[in-house]
Structure 1
Amino acid sequence: MASVYQRDGGKWLAALRIPCPAGSVRADGSPVLIRKNKTIKAKSKAAALRDANALEKQLRDNPAAPVTDGSLEWFLLQIFLPYQRANKALKTAHRDAQLANGVLRLMNGAMKLTDVRKPAFVALVDAARKEVWPVDHPKAGQSRNGARNVHHIWGFLKKAMAHAYDEGLITWNVRVEGVKAPPVPKRGPNVKMATADETQILVDALRNGHEKLNRNDADLADVVEFGFLTACRKQETLGLPWAHVHLNAETPFVIIEDVTEEAGGIFRIRRGTKTSAKTGELGRKVYLVPDALALLRRRKEADKGVVWNVDRLVFPDPRTGRVWRPSAVSSMVQTAANNLGVTAGLHSRRHGGITHLIEQGVPLETVSQFAGHADPTMTASTYGWVTEALAQKQLVAIAGGLSSTPKPKTDATGDDLPPEVMLKAMEYAQASGQPLEVVLAVLRGAGAAQAAE
């Protein structure tokens, strides 16, 4: 543990005990410790000792690192971002680096890490909301950060401060201090979704050729079709190895465990990172529908072997046999879809596949596991509008039985309705949680409208 000695003007001399940079060790194998002095500024002895211990920990972990003053900028650039790059996905680390620049742009980077508390979070959110583009930017004077971006910047700082607490650099625990998140407007039902028909048009054109496309590409067609049939993300599809494909199981399935990553011009396969949201175990099991099973069996028969397909991937780059760059695949799908006039984007096939399952009556919990969502709540929040649309269709379908003959004066009990319609109405009311009177009123209104037509 470090020691501190008071000097004049709020300055303290910190005596740090750190391993010898030369790597000297004692007879028992323990490192030889040396003393290193550092002058720091602090308001009290307790604060000075806390900062001194943080510096000592930094130097013990990396004796060659320069001693710093424990500022927010030092922590983000020298401690937190390197940790993220070493332990998180490429995309996460790349995004965090961008958010770190935003935090340091909006806050005083020289601020002591130990001084970052609730008021600093409030000031950060306020500054982010007021920030505008500089005069030399095409959007000069316009707001730079929307509500969602403000929330991302706030969330990054909270995540960073939680890591600082876990590392023992600060004693303030942001997780239990009730730092209030800035509000984010809810997204509407605007998910870009490719229907089954649109996907089939795109797949057929890619596989068999089309006058609006420059060339046909059967491998790209397989990626698009597999994404729709399994609702897999493109990173999961392109990172899928044959070792995780079980075609001869009683119910054939694949294990989604490896993913491709791409950020900052780098792409790679990250092994063993996907876990089951339900069990927490490594890998997510996705059962194969007949069309997906036929697709994989066809590709298995056509596989060129380990000499060409070194990584033993199901969907390697057909030109090189190595990992297929995700951005290249997305670009080709986007171009082909735009030329054909169908919903573009490879990820829209995933949305389409999930929506198709819901429309077929598959329970949300099962769909959530199939899609790899954290929980059914996430599925419901994103695709709840699909279930609402289905409910409306069911009501109209039930009401169809009311339009054939004139109906007598109605009452709230439903005695005027045919028994089979009344039974369906009761089942629907129980499943949806709506009062039976409300369902009956909707049915009668729909029946009257159809009779009038």
Structure 2
Amino acid sequence: MTTPRDTPASRRVRANGDGTVYQRKDSRWEAAGYVLAPGNTRKRVRVYGTTRKEALAKLTEKIANSNRGLPVPSAQGSVAAYLTYWLENVAVHHLRENTHTRYTACVNRYLIPGLGKKKLTKLTAKDIRTWLNQLRTTCQCCTRRLDARRDQPRCCAIGQCCSKLLSPLTLNYIHSVLKSALEHAVREEEIPRNVARNVRTGTPRPRRFEPLTADEARQLLTTAQGHRLHALFELALHTGLRKGELLGLHWEDLNLDAGTAAIRRTLQRTNAGGLTTLPTKTRASERRIAVPARCVQSLKLHREQQQREREAAGAAWQHSGHVFTTAQGGAIDPTNLTRTFLTLLRKAGLRRIRFHDLRHSTATLLLEQGVELVVIKELLGHAHIGVTATVYAHVRLRLQREAMTALGNALDRP
């Protein structure tokens, strides 16, 4: 008599709703079951694996997601339907809110109008390349009808196209969003391969920035003397911390006796939560850095000043624990810090730059002083040294030329 243990694994009876698992003629294992699909319908899905355990695990995951109410997109559906599913059910759980907002704008503004009507399974690399080429050469005022919404038309509406084209960086960003979405479709076995990976958009030139020179940096710090946020600007120029990292610093993160700071969080404004404390940008961004003696002294004076402001505010003081706060103790809005910075630049008689260019200024000045690239990478919190090398390639080339000139002068001497 045959017992369940004697029955081959591929033929065992499974519970109702668990799906079926069997071995194919090509030696692969196939599992099939019913899951929730868009439109509150159910569809049969098939997954594959090299072992029975692997195929069963994939099917179990899909059924578990379905039981939690997450619909599985239909590969027979359009690219627009899949992108919408991906944004609402996948990307929203893996991206920061601001990043998800940018992805959503990219999908709705470019991807769905350009590729949305095509079937997901029939999308080809040629389709993507043709669309990107068209996007690269098409005026956005005409395509998105921006001119029609202006009070005083200056482009298509008056027959004079301004040829407002997308930058290579924007095109590369749009392509990367599409690749991310299709990569997840491959992982869910909705499509066999990511055709967007077969399209090369080229490496765009990095965004140009104009860091402060040593003289300009000194002029800025001199003008900031006496400002209630002088310690912030001094710390920014000496350490290269990002704006959100500076505003997210708590006093408990600082060890002024040892001269160190632990970078653990960042402060950002989001649409849903307002001013929100978030983890650092990447895992590498969570780091401990050395704080120069000059900044330590400024921070001690800043702490005394904050204590006086706290006593003056009395019951109105908002205890947030932040190092840099408003006069009432609340967190500083990043936009307000930018306004303060621009005012300080005008007062110092310096050219207009972004606050983020203070970070570039730090790295550039350190490179010019001969500091090794790996040290700058650790200070800035870059994930890989290649990022540091790429961003500051122009500085390294200039230093190479100066070194070659110095060497040539030495060799020319008798």
Using structure 2 for the length normalisation, give the TM-score.
Answer: 0.71
Distance in 1 separating the partners of 2:36 and 2:83: 23
2:203 maps to: 184
Deviations 1:283-335 (A, max 9, x none): 2121111112222222233444798353211112x244222111221122123
2:332 maps to: 324
The yes-or-no answer on 1:130 pairing with 2:131 is no
Q: Which runs of 5+ in 1 are unaligned?
A: 4-13, 20-35, 48-52, 209-216, 401-420, 422-439, 449-453
Write the mapping of 1:49-448 to structure 2, written as runs, cut at 5 A. 59-62=66-69, 70-81=77-88, 83-132=90-139, 133-134=141-142, 137=147, 138-140=154-156, 141=161, 142-166=163-187, 168=188, 170-174=190-194, 178-187=197-206, 190-208=208-226, 217-219=227-229, 221-249=230-258, 252-264=259-271, 267-275=274-282, 277=284, 283-304=286-307, 308-316=317-325, 318-344=326-352, 345-397=354-406, 421=410, 440=411, 444=412
**Are residues 136 and 196 of structure 1, via their aligned partners in 2, closer, same or farther at CA, if it must alter by over 3 Å?**
closer
Q: Does the aligned pair in 1 maintain the 2:36–2:42 contact within 8 Å? A: no
Distance in 2 separating the partners of 1:393 and 1:378: 23
The structure number with the bigger radius of gyration is 1
What displacement does 1:366 show? Answer: 0.9
Deviations 1:326-377 (A, max 9, x none): 1221122123313432133211211111111112211011111111122222
What displacement does 1:186 show? Answer: 2.4
**Are residues 178 and 74 of structure 1, via their aligned partners in 2, closer, same or farther at CA, if it must alter by over 3 Å?**
closer
**Are residues 329 and 37 of structure 1, via their aligned partners in 2, closer, same or farther at CA, if it must alter by over 3 Å?**
closer
Deviations 1:139-175 (A, max 9, x none): 4342432222211111110011112333x25142429
Q: Does the aligned pair in 1 maintain the 2:282–2:383 contact within 8 Å? A: no
Deviations 1:219-276 (A, max 9, x none): 2x32222110111111111111122112233xx2111120122355864333333555
Deviations 1:394-423 (A, max 9, x none): 4555666xxxxxxxxxxxxxxxxxxxx5xx
Q: Does the aligned pair in 2 maintain the 1:203–1:222 contact within 8 Å? A: no
What displacement does 1:17 show? Answer: 5.4
Q: Which runs of 5+ in 2 are unaligned?
A: 1-16, 20-31, 48-59, 148-153
Aligned-residue sequence identity (percent) comes to: 20
Q: Does the aligned pair in 1 maintain the 2:269–2:334 contact within 8 Å? A: yes
Q: Does the aligned pair in 2 maintain the 1:129–1:143 contact within 8 Å? A: no
Residue identity in the other structure for 2:111: L
Residue identity in the other structure for 1:331: R
Distance in 2 separating the partners of 1:55 and 1:375: 35
SS at match of 1:119: helix
SS at match of 2:198: coil
Q: Does the aligned pair in 2 maintain the 1:129–1:150 contact within 8 Å? A: yes
RMSD (Å), alpha carbons: 3.8
Distance in 1 separating the partners of 2:350 and 2:172: 33
Residue identity in the other structure for 1:74: A
Residue identity in the other structure for 1:101: N
Using structure 1 for the length normalisation, give the TM-score.
Answer: 0.66
1:432 maps to: none
Residue identity in the other structure for 2:319: V
